[in-house]
Every structure is written in C-alpha cells, then in structure tokens.
Structure 1
Amino acid sequence: MTRVHIKTAGHMIDTAVVSVNKLGKMAGSSSSKCSFALTLVCLFFQFFVSCAGQGDDVITAQEINADTFERKMEAGNFLLVNFIGPGCKNCKDFTPIFNQVNTELLRAKSDVTAAVINNLDIVQHYDLQKLPSLVFFRKTVPILYEGHHEVEEILAWLSNTRELQGRYLNDNDFEHLTQASTGATTGDWLVQFCDPERPQCIALQTMWETVAYRLKDRLNVATVDTSVNKALVKRFKISVDKTPSVILFHKGNQYPYGLFHFGIASLAHFAEQSYKHVQGSPVLPPPAPLMKDEKMYKIHYKMINGPAERLETWLSTGHKTNKANKVPRERTRVDDLTEDIAKKLKAVQPESKGIFFLIFGGLLVFVLVLCKVFMTSPNRQSGTGGGPKKGV
C-alpha cells in the first residue's frame, strides 16, 4: 500500500467518524456504544497506517572513506558506489534518486551494497570523467553506468551486469578461443594488452567493462595480462612500457587502436566501424605447441584415443612432466658427404700413421740442416776474402 492510498483511506475513516458522531447525536444514548466501538477501530487503523508508513521511508546511503572502500574491495563484495565531489550541484540532485535505489536494495535484501564516496583521489584513480558517476564493483571489477538517473533503470542495469562482460585470455587459451590467425568461427575480438599494476591500465579498467557491455552479443572483448603472458607479448610485439595496447582481431587480420584517448564511445566505434580506416596486417600463427625449445615429447596412444579435454590439458601443461628429446634435424646431402669423408679418413688413419711420422721427422731434419748452413756461411766469407793482402 502506497502513502497516497494510506492517506486516502485515513481521510475516508475520518469522514466516517464525523458522520457516525452526527448520527449518534441524533440517535441519543444508544449511539454511545457504537461511537466507542468505532473509535477503537479508528485507533487500530491509525496504528496500522503508522506502521505501513514507516516501510515507505527512504533510507540514506552510507558515505564511506578510502579505507572502508579498500576493505570492501579486498573482501570481494558487490558494491554500488555513487562518486560525488564537493560543491557538485548535479550530485545533490542525484542524491534522492540514489537513496531510493539504496532503499530498494535493502528492501529486496540484495547482496549489493550501495555507498557514497566523496574522494577526488579515488575518482582520479578510476579516471571518472564526470560527477556524479555511478560505478558497480563486481568483486573488484568495475563497470560504469551510462543510463538515465531513474531508479527502475538503475536496478535493471544492476541485474544485467552482475556477471563480468569481458574475458581474460592467456598464453595457453588465446589461439584456441580467438582463432585469431584463422579468423574462423568465434567472431571478432577486441583485446587490450595491459599490466594491471600500471595506473594507465587501472584507469582503463572501468571503461573497458562498459565497452564490453555495449558490444555484448556483437563482439568479444577480452584482456591479456602482459606481466605473465610473455609469449603473447612477444608474438604481437607489445611494448610493455607503453601499455595499454588495444588490438582488434577481425577475419585473420589485426588492427591496432592508434588513438591516445581511451574513451568508451571511441573504443566501441573503433571495434565496429573505424577499424576499416586502419592499416591491418595478417595475424601470424602461433609456434607449434610441441616444438617449444626445439624439443619433442612422446604422446601415449591412450592420450590420443581418450577424452579431448585430457589431450588439451596435456598439450598446454602436462607435456612438461614427460622426458623431452631433441628434435631430429632433417638430413641433407651435405651431411651425407661430410659423413663419407669422415669415414674414409678414419679408415686411412691407422695405416698412414707410420708414414706420417717419417715424413714429419724428415722435414724436421731438413729444416735443421738449412738453419745450420745459413748460420755458418757468413763466417767463411769473412775468413777468406775479407781483409787486404800482405806485402801490398
């Protein structure tokens, strides 16, 4: 029962009481009992009205500080935050609406807690462009509200955005899920490569989930953590110091997002339209999964004939538990020629060992003789014709 209905009913009862009193005066003393009974009924109804009226009171949302906000984030709660600022007229206008949202959540015993934060440092941390800003944190992952300031629309938005819109990809499942190099059946993917510890990436996180909500059912939106997925960083030549980097994967080609401003509207428009004005390049296929570090691993026949999930798990991580062998290199004609020469030298070497030492000894004697000759030649020339003849 609404407040208007309660007031209307109360007015009707008051009118009835006045009418009964008039009739009581006309009826004489017999009407005293009727008037007394009617008075008791009115008192009971007023008590009911007061109790029902208390249920319609609007409950003000609690304002929390930075420490409380951090604790709630660590606890992984569902938190709906109204970010406001000092002297903000629009924030004051939105306050009654947000309090009504808080009242509806409490009345429905929802697990979503509504709170108010008046802290410009946190506003800057999440790169919120205007105040008030309504942000829904789903276990630390935020999404920005873009709709009208209406209670019913906000409550419907909360119901539709409880689940995360964006996905998280890693080295092992990126190609399997996106099929980026083949452009096959999974559709287009808008992927941000980002280090979650960088302030620029934290600022983009709120808008990124909002972009995913905008593109829901039309395009896949995902995130790659560059701090742990080194293979993807190397494959797509991501400059870690310049993250976040956004790439659209469309039909086997990749299109980099070239703007410095990461706005919700610009990212969504790029994913659907403006990528056509960007020079794309073919997506190179990933390296063969069983040829990492030039090693090969034996696959048991039961693994091949067993469930597909078991083989997929083994290909991603399980093969590391097996003993690895070096991958044999393909044999060439040069390898055959080199091997033939080595065999012939090996066959000849034992028989020619004595001849080799004989030749080496002869050369050594010959060198010593030459040295002796050259060392004694100047002495003979100086003894025979070097000085003047006697008697001249």
Structure 2
Amino acid sequence: MIPGKFCFIFIFICCSFVTTSVVGQTLEVVNDDELLELFRTENYVLVLFSLKDCEKCKLYEETLIQIREELVDALSAWVVKVDGSNLVHIYDPTKEPALIMFRHGVPLLVPELEAMDYDLLLDILLNNRDPVVKELDDHSFEHLTQASTGATTGDWFIQFYSSDSIECQRLQARWETVGAKLKNRMNVARINRHGAGSMIARRFSVSQSPTFILIRRGALYKYTSSEYTIDSFIKFIEEDYKYTVKGEIPLPKSPLDDFVHLCFDMLRENPLIWKLGLAGLSLMLLGLAALRGGSKSKEHKLKKKSSKSSSKKSK
C-alpha cells in the first residue's frame, strides 16, 4: 500500500510540475518594427496578434507554448506575439486574437478553431509550410490552366489583384487560407492585372481589383459577392457557383484586339488622358477653323480688290 501511495503522489507532483511550468511560460513579445525585421530575415514566423487582458488571447498563447518546440524542431520557426499591433488589420479584418504564419514572407491566416486542439493546429501549420497559391502571368497562364483547350489540369479559382489596392493586400493571408483549405481539390491562384498578367486580365475583361473567377470543367463563373471572407469563398466553390451565370471561357485575343483593348482600358482608367486629348482636339479644330476663316477672308478681299481694278479699267 505504501509504495502505491508514494507512486501516486510522485506522479501527481510530476504532472503538477509540468502543468505549472507550461502555464508559467510565455511567448516572446515583439513590437511591429521587430516583427517586420523577422519577416525579412526568417523563413518561418508564427505570430499571435494579441491584446492585453484578453482571456481568449491567453488560451491561444498557452496552445502555442505547447507546440512551440515541435515547430522549432521541424521548421526552425520563430513563435512570437505582439500586443495591440497596427499590422493585424493588414492580414485579418477581424479583431484579435489572430494567428498568422509567415512562410518566406507569405502570410497564412490560421482559421479559428472551435477548440484549441494542439494536434490539429500543428497539423495545419506543418502541412502548409510552403505557400499554396500559385502566381500566374501572361506566359504561364495558358500552359498551366489550359483554359482555352479544355484539357484536364483541374479547376482553377483565380484572384485578379493589383499592387496598389489596399483590399488586395489585406486579402493575401485569407487567400492563402482558401488555398490551404482547397488543396488537393482545386488550384488557387493570383494574377497581377496591372503587371505580368495584364493581357490575361484584358482577355477576361477584368477592370477592377480584386476580381475573382472560377474556371470549372471548361466553364467560367464569376464571384460577384462583396463578402471577402474565407467561409464565403469556400461556400462559393462548394455551392454558390451553381447559382451564378455560366459563361464561356474567352479565347486569347489577337495582338491587334489586345492593343485596342489596352487603349480602351487606359482611357477608361485615366479619364484625364482622354479629357486632355479631347481638349487638344478641340483646340486643333478651332485653329483649323480660324485658319480656314482667315484664308476665306483674305480670298474675299483679293476678289473684291480684283473686281474694283477691273471696273476701273473698263471705265
């Protein structure tokens, strides 16, 4: 009996010691400047955007402490937290706590778990150690998607973005999460409509950032909702696309058609250009009209002078 009691007490003390040591630990706290430096210098950074005196934030921190060593061993990852950061709204429009995993500078918004399951969270992080979203451009689009040939390279959910769009910047972490959730089911990609993907954007008549299209089984579906949440994107892929207009995938434009479309887009997106052009054309027409009027007046004077001289001779 005595050895059994001692054994039970020993196990109880050990468990209490481990629990106390874990609870007593904290994540390293950094500020925004230090966080940006980590993004530049480290391959993997897991950040807890937290607030002081936030009970839910404490639960997140305790969960991260449980898996920190495994993340360090597997990825040499930095696991830190920042309180009251100004950067959180760039990656997640909701309030703290928010958990973001940066892989080579590319953010992944870790979806909120109903229960902070250590194994599930670790599985999500390790299985998405590399960015999922593919970057397409004018040269790689047709080769990878084979959109116009109808070949089977899978379905594609594509975001057209532009570097000067704040909304597009805020979407990057969520879009990576969409890619992670749809991995092995379909391809998720991005195209810079003002950069290397401008021809593809004109081909699909994309004029706004962000714009989302689904290429599925040789058909085109446009995401028209103004709700840019992870759940709304997934719901569109799984159900809502069925209730949108099914369109045809446009064929690649000829160089002439693409040039005309480019000029049209430049005029539409830069109204000052066509206004200045219209003003210049108006001035040119007025100048031509003035010159023509002057030449007619001069011709009339010459005719009048000629008629006077001829009348004098006749006398």
Q: Which has more radius of gyration? A: 1
- Contact 1:182 1:251 (C-alpha < 8 Å) held by counterparts: no
Structure 1 counterpart of 2:82, from 109, 117, 134: 117
Partner Cα distance (1:252, 1:109) in 2: 40
Partner Cα distance (2:67, 2:145) in 1: 39
- Contact 1:126 1:206 (C-alpha < 8 Å) held by counterparts: yes
Tell me the residue number matched to 1:140: 105
Aligned Cα root-mean-square deviation (Å): 3.1
Structure 2 counterpart of 1:252, from 218, 243, 258: 218
C-alpha change, 1:238 and 1:96, in structure 2 (3 Å) is same
- Post-superposition offset of 1:378: 7.0
- Contact 1:181 1:285 (C-alpha < 8 Å) held by counterparts: yes
Partner Cα distance (1:227, 1:174) in 2: 15
C-alpha change, 1:135 and 1:292, in structure 2 (3 Å) is closer
Q: Which digits, 9 at most, give the CA deviation of each residue in 1:352-378, with x for residues without a partner?
A: xxxxxxxxxxxxxxxxxxxxxx98997
Structure 2 counterpart of 1:227, from 188, 194, 200: 194
Amino acid at match of 2:30: I
C-alpha change, 1:235 and 1:93, in structure 2 (3 Å) is same
- Secondary structure of residue in 1 paired with 2:86: helix
Output aligned runs, 1:225-304, within 5 Å.
225-228=192-195, 229-239=197-207, 242-287=208-253
Structure 1 unpaired stretches of 5+: 1-6, 13-48, 294-373, 380-392
The list of structure 1 runs, each at least 4 consecutive aligned residues, that deviate by more than 4 angstroms after superposition, is: 9-12, 374-379
Kindly tell me the number of residue pairs found equivalent between the two proteins. 251
- Post-superposition offset of 1:150: 2.2
Percent of counterpart pairs with the same letter? 32
Partner Cα distance (1:11, 1:216) in 2: 47
Structure 2 unpaired stretches of 5+: 1-5, 260-309
Q: Which digits, 9 at most, give the CA deviation of each residue in 1:313-368, with x for residues without a partner?
A: xxxxxxxxxxxxxxxxxxxxxxxxxxxxxxxxxxxxxxxxxxxxxxxxxxxxxxxx
The farther-off stretch of 259-268 and 131-140 is 131-140
- When normalised by structure 2's length, the TM-score is 0.70
- Secondary structure of residue in 2 paired with 1:190: strand
Output aligned runs, 1:1-392, within 5 Å.
8=7, 11=10, 57-58=21-22, 59-106=25-72, 108=73, 110-146=75-111, 147=113, 148-228=115-195, 229-239=197-207, 242-287=208-253
- Post-superposition offset of 1:285: 1.2
- Contact 1:60 1:102 (C-alpha < 8 Å) held by counterparts: no
C-alpha change, 1:292 and 1:110, in structure 2 (3 Å) is closer
- Secondary structure of residue in 1 paired with 2:152: coil
Partner Cα distance (2:312, 2:77) in 1: 111
- Contact 2:90 2:170 (C-alpha < 8 Å) held by counterparts: yes
